[in-house]
Amino acid sequence: MKSSEIRKKFFDFFIKNGHTKVASSSLIPAQDPSLLFTNAGMNQFKDIFLGKETRSYTRAVSIQKCMRAGGKHSDLDNVGFTNRHLTFFEMMGNFSFGDYFKKEAIQFAWDFLTKEMAFDPKNMYATVFREDDEAYDIWLQQIGLPKAQISRLGEADNFWQMGDTGPCGPCTEIYVDRGIEFGCGKISCAPGCDCDRYLEVWNLVFMQYDRQADGSDVPLKQKGVDTGMGLERLCLIVQEKKSLFEIDLFENIINTIENLTNIRYQKATKEQQAAFNVLADHVRSSTFLIADGVTPSNEGRGYVLRKIIRRAALFAQKLTDKNIFPEIAQSVIQEMNSIYPELKPAEKAIKHLLTIEVEKFAQNLIYGQNILERYFEESKDRKIISGAQAFKLYDTFGFPLELTKVIAHEHGFTVDIEGFEKHMEIQRERSGGKITKERFDAIDLEESVKTNFVGYEKLETTSKILSIIYDNQLVKKLNEGESGWIIMQESPFYVEKGGQVSDQGWIQINSTKTPILNLQRIENAIAVQIVAPKTISIDDTVTALVDKKFRLNVMNNHTATHLLQAALIEVLGKEVKQSGSLVHPDYLRFDFTYHGTMTPEQIKIVEDKVNQKIRENIPLNIYYTSYQNAVNKGVIAIFGEKYNPEEVRVIDIPSFSMELCGGTHVQATGDIGCFKITEESALSAGQRRIFAVTGVKAIELFQETFTTVKKLSQEFKVPQHEVLQAVERQQEQFKQTLNTIKKLKKQSWKAQLATWLEQVIKINNIPVGIFAIEDSSAEDLKEIAQALNTQKPGFYFLLSTHDERSSFYCILADQFESQINLKAFATWLKDTFELRGGGKKGTLQGGGPAIDINQLKEGIVAWLKK
Ligand code: SER
């Protein structure tokens, strides 16, 4: 059975059983800093499990893209060495949100596997959480699984948690016995064993708790079910293959590697097969990560991507010297694009980033491996790579720890991981990378304390104060002169989000206005920081005023950002994806993924398009709809952003741009006035950054530039459009003048040569000349010294002083080398006159403070005489 058929059967089965089909979310979790990558199907449903969000359905089914290469669940170290681990995989799952629980969940799984997939019950095993009698009994009585095929395991195996915090609960896992030939042969071999015999296929989690940062478990308001089954593992069993890399999803990818390397996978050595596996998996995961907007970097998600690519580069050496990553990526895209259409538009970026990332690392990979060879030799008795050594490899050669571990392992060495972490920690502290604690940790607002944000329609409101915070505590009043935070029932203040900066403004109490110092969101409330101009208490009524000019400029820049993104996509293609944005009253900054550079013509076309749309004065259509509906209409959503699937806010600039956004916008595009890109540059490989201005700022820029050009045209006495040529002409003339001066200078010192030569004295029979030559460059000094030395070989010391600094050039003819030690002379010069210098054989060049030439002459003569 092909994977496509398995996908279909899975969806059909659960839809038939009342589940709503939900699309896979991005690999970048939506606004969830507790999670590096989407690592399970339930991630996108986290808030529903926690009771913070509801949907129109209580049963869902999905096939979710997942990454397990960092954070709590990581399989990176295993890939290449087992037949069943991947960093990127697809997780099939069914979910219940306060709907069915254990009985139905187990029954569904059993029916799907035994009926739809035709698994033989004789080969099926279940594990349950040690204390979960209910699940045990369901397996035994309801399903009729023999006792010998059910086992109880501890927390490590049968209690699932998403991350260090968040939803969690006991689970039951379904294993399939693949036969004794896959086993490790140990008597203890049973489900849960590390070998390949009992393959874990499906994990059914009974979500019951919300794990807190302190490790305690708070019961959830409503229980739920979260199940996950790796599509690839299911294919492995159904297609009766030995390894995941033999299933249909990998067939084309492995074929591509075979063709590129001329090595047949089935005939390859074990080492080479490991390299095939690693390349197939790692390039597949990198392709998906880049398509979702991740680019290689030195931190966070970008660093995991870098680690994966570098680890793959290490293994690739076993198969070829060529960089075959882009071609492998291409076959991944071909294989998966029909299911994940986001891949194709990102193809160029994927190939480009993989190419440069591998090339950049190639040299360091060789250096690092050589160093490691030395370490192996040095500690061949202890067989351990120390933390300091692993850190050195990381710091100097960019070797991720995972890479050092692989190579060490191949040599029978281990790595001191703790030692490595210690060194990392020291480095982090040095670079000041400590994470600052969030404010208001101690504040626990009552559920009724909510602020109604009215800032889309109004810039001024009067309402009641609901809470006051002073010194990180809830208080009843704020005394005059105290700085604290007030929470109002209604607020027009926009709090920084989605790149748009927080509003500025005032709080007016009776007739006194006081500026707001800061804004922050606490759960559903907006806290405003002020210094109380008079004592204020809970229930007092105050007025909140947004700074209109500030906000209007922000609105111009926000809508302009949307126009810019749409124009960029039109000009550069769908590969353009927002990767960052700052909407400020004075300017906008927009970061986006794009593999190439932008030409001045492209920049101009983008500007023209935006200005065209501004002139069309298109009224904005802002409305709320469901996420799915918006996506169907072709709306642009931003990866990593959290959207409520049932209600999203659409900013529609008809026939040009449609984005999901919570920001504040103009009424019609004409309000923006005009738009000008001021800077376009590379942010990092595969990412570009644009700065632009709008409205008043753009006009100011235009006026300033105009005034400058006008002045220049008057200075140069040319029409404005010829100013540039006039400047270029003048530069050319200036260059010529400098050349003339240089020539004249040369003529003048040449004329002087005879006089200087006459002043040469003899010390110990060596001709010696020590002269001050005013206003000469280091280059001049060198030329003069060489000329003197050619005419009368000897020892020459030339000094030029300028602006309290002096520079010197000293030359010694070859035949006197044995008599004068220039090295010793340099030391003496430094100790006596603070003149520092160095140079090639027979010369000394350098500088220091201003020196009186007579004093210097006396000193040098005395030194030479000695
Ligand atoms: N969340 C569970 C897992 O990832 C079941 O989907 O294994």
How far is ligand 1, taken at its centre, from the CA of residue 579, in Å? 29
Nearest CA to ligand 1 atom 6: 228
Instruction: Kindly give the distance from the C-alpha atom of residue 157 to the centroid of ligand 1, in angstroms, as a whole number.
Output: 12
What is the Cα–Cα distance from 709 to 724, expressed in whole angstroms?
A: 9
Alpha carbon 623 to its chain's center: 32
Give yes or no for residue 226 CB within 6 A of ligand 1: yes
User: Does residue 172 line the site of ligand 1, with CB under 6 A?
Assistant: no
- Single-letter residue type at 477: K
Q: Which of 224, 248, 265 lies closest to 94, judged by CA?
A: 224
**Do strands 805-812 and 795-802 pair parallel, antiparallel, or not at all (unpaired)?**
antiparallel
Q: Which two tokens stand for residue 397?
A: 């050669």
Answer yes or no: are the C-beta atoms of 523 and 573 closer than 8 Å. no
Q: Is 229 in the pocket of ligand 1 (CB under 6 A)?
A: no
Residue with CA at minimum distance from ligand 1 atom 2: 228
Rounded Cα–Cα distance for residues 771 and 865 (Å): 18
pLDDT at 433: 42
385 lines ligand 1 (CB under 6 A): no
- Is 191 close to ligand 1, i.e. is its CB under 6 Å away? no
Give me the average pLDDT of each 10-residue run along the chain (866 residues): 97 97 90 79 92 90 93 83 93 97 97 96 96 96 96 92 88 94 86 88 96 88 95 96 95 97 95 96 97 85 91 95 95 96 91 89 86 89 92 86 92 93 80 46 84 96 95 88 90 92 92 87 90 91 95 97 97 91 93 92 98 98 92 80 84 96 96 96 88 94 94 93 94 95 89 93 95 86 95 96 90 94 93 90 92 93 92
Q: Rounded to the nearest whole angstrom, what is the distance from the C-alpha of residue 102 to the centroid of ligand 1? A: 15
The answer to whether 784 touches 776, Cβ cutoff 8 Å, is yes
DSSP state of 586: S
Could you tell me if the CB of 89 is within 6 A of ligand 1?
A: no
pLDDT value at residue 379: 86
Could you tell me if the CB of 174 is within 6 A of ligand 1?
no
Q: Is the CB–ligand 1 distance for residue 393 below 6 Å? A: no
Distance 228 CA to ligand 1 centre (A): 5
Quote the ligand 1 centre to 238 CA distance (angstroms): 21
Overall size of the chain counted in residues: 866
Neighbours of 259 (CB within 10 A): 12
Does 455 sit in the ligand 1 pocket, CB within 6 Å? no
The finding on whether 171 has its CB within 6 A of some atom of ligand 1 is no
* pTM of structure: 0.65
176 by DSSP, 3-state: which?
A: strand
What is the residue with the minimal CA distance to atom 1 of ligand 1? 40
With a 6 A CB cut-off, is 203 part of the ligand 1 pocket?
yes
Q: 809 CA distance to ligand 1 centroid (A)?
A: 74
Upper half-sphere CA count for residue 744 (Cβ side, 13 Å)? 6
Helices and strands (DSSP H and E) totals, the chain: 22, 36
Ligand 1 centroid–CA 679 distance in Å is 46
Based on C-alpha coordinates, what's the Rg of the chain?
36
- Listed in sequence order, the residues at least 6 apart from 774 whose beta carbon sits closer than 8 Å to its beta carbon are 800, 801
CB 795 within 8 A of CB 761: no
Distance 229 CA to ligand 1 centre (A): 8
Ligand 1 within 6 A of 587 CB?
Answer: no
Choose one of 39, 108, 227, 229 to mutate for the ligand 1 pocket test, by most ligand atoms within 8 angstroms of C-beta.
227
Does 40 contact ligand 1 (Cβ within 6 A)?
A: yes
pLDDT score of 484: 86
d(CA 168, ligand 1 centre) in Å: 10
Check: CB of residue 549 under 8 Å from CB of residue 501: no
Q: What is the DSSP string of 425-478?
A: HHHHHHTT-PPPPPTTTT----TT---EE-TTT-SEEEEEEEEEEETTEEESEE
CA separation for the pair 564, 603 (Å, rounded):
11
Query: Count of CB atoms within 10 A of residue 372's CB?
Result: 22
Does ligand 1 lie within 6 Å of residue 228's CB atom? yes
660 and 638 Cβ atoms separated by less than 8 Å = yes
Task: Name the 3-class secondary structure at 358.
Answer: helix
Atom of ligand 1 nearest to the CA of 91: 6
d(Cα 249, Cα 493) in Å, to the nearest integer? 51
